[in-house]
Amino acid sequence: MAVINDPNTAANIAAVGEKATSTTGAVHVVPKPLPASVGHYRTSIVLTMATTQAANSRLFEIRNTSTNLIVPTRIRVGAMTTGTVTTAYLMRLGLYKCTSFSAVDTTNTVTPTSSVRRTTGMTAYPGNAHVRHVTVAGAAAGMTGGGLTKDANEAGTHLYWTSTTVPTAPNPIVMVTSEVLDDVNGTHPWVFAQNEGFEIENVTVGSGTANVVTVLIDVSWAEVAAY
């Protein structure tokens, strides 16, 4: 059994692994966010897939431009049929790590605006990250023009079976989402050095002459000097 004394108050004693009594007790743990010398950031976008969204077309990306490190803390994606789909199909969104990331895409792109998690002590959004997403109205080819090398295999996958009509049940209709990256389970998170990052893409081609599917991409990350 280990005993920990409070350096500020001698009467405060914590016995690790011991049941709480009148004189000792379990350790009181206060979780803290990852210390970030630059800041913590979050962005959330909603976009519409193009009528025939190409296979492996990029929808979202983040590139680290500095010598600091970028640590993503949450990546959540979702999909929902919101109009006519010619033929129902299995939609697949893939998350890929990218290296040799020399430039973000320049065609069919939007630079999102969002807020830093804290206005004091943190650099304004988005720190030293380059953040882009495909045009909200959809672009069949996705984002293009960037320089990056993606890993051969997906690091996270979201699957969604589309419908030929807008779903009417259950009520209320909810979007199907997946946590494709979440570091709360204690595993080592991704840590991106300069000219590294990640992208989210549509893996399988859209179906037919109509493909009204709405996609949600919700991303949080921290920029730190060391990890």
Of residues 50 and 131, the one with the higher pLDDT is: 131
User: What does the DSSP 8-state code read for residue 183?
Assistant: G
What is the per-residue pLDDT for 101? 98
Mean pLDDT, residues 71-77 taken together: 93
Of residues 151 and 86, the one with the higher pLDDT is: 151
Identify the CA nearest to 52 among candidates 160, 215, 209.
209
First-last CA distance in the chain: 30
What is the per-residue pLDDT for 206? 76
Distance CA(136)–CA(214), nearest Å, equals: 10
Of residues 187 and 175, the one with the higher pLDDT is: 175
pLDDT band, very low/low/confident/very high, at 94 (cuts 50, 70, 90): very high
Going through the chain in order, the beta strands assigned E by DSSP cover 2-5, 13-16, 39-48, 57-64, 69-85, 90-103, 109-110, 115-116, 129-134, 147-150, 156-161, 176-182, 197-202, 211-224
Does 192 have pLDDT greater than 90?
Answer: yes
Does 186 have pLDDT greater than 70?
Answer: no
Of residues 50 and 106, the one with the higher pLDDT is: 106
145 dihedral zone (left: phi>0; alpha: psi -120 to 50; beta): left
Distance CA(175)–CA(166), nearest Å, equals: 12
pLDDT band, very low/low/confident/very high, at 212 (cuts 50, 70, 90): confident
Percentage above 90 pLDDT, the chain? 53
Distance CA(71)–CA(57), nearest Å, equals: 24
Mean pLDDT, residues 57-76 taken together: 95
Beta-ladder partners of 156: 95
Assess contact for 164 and 88: CB atoms under 8 A: yes
What is the per-residue pLDDT for 2? 57
Q: Name the least confident of 3-7, 168-172, 217-221.
A: 3-7
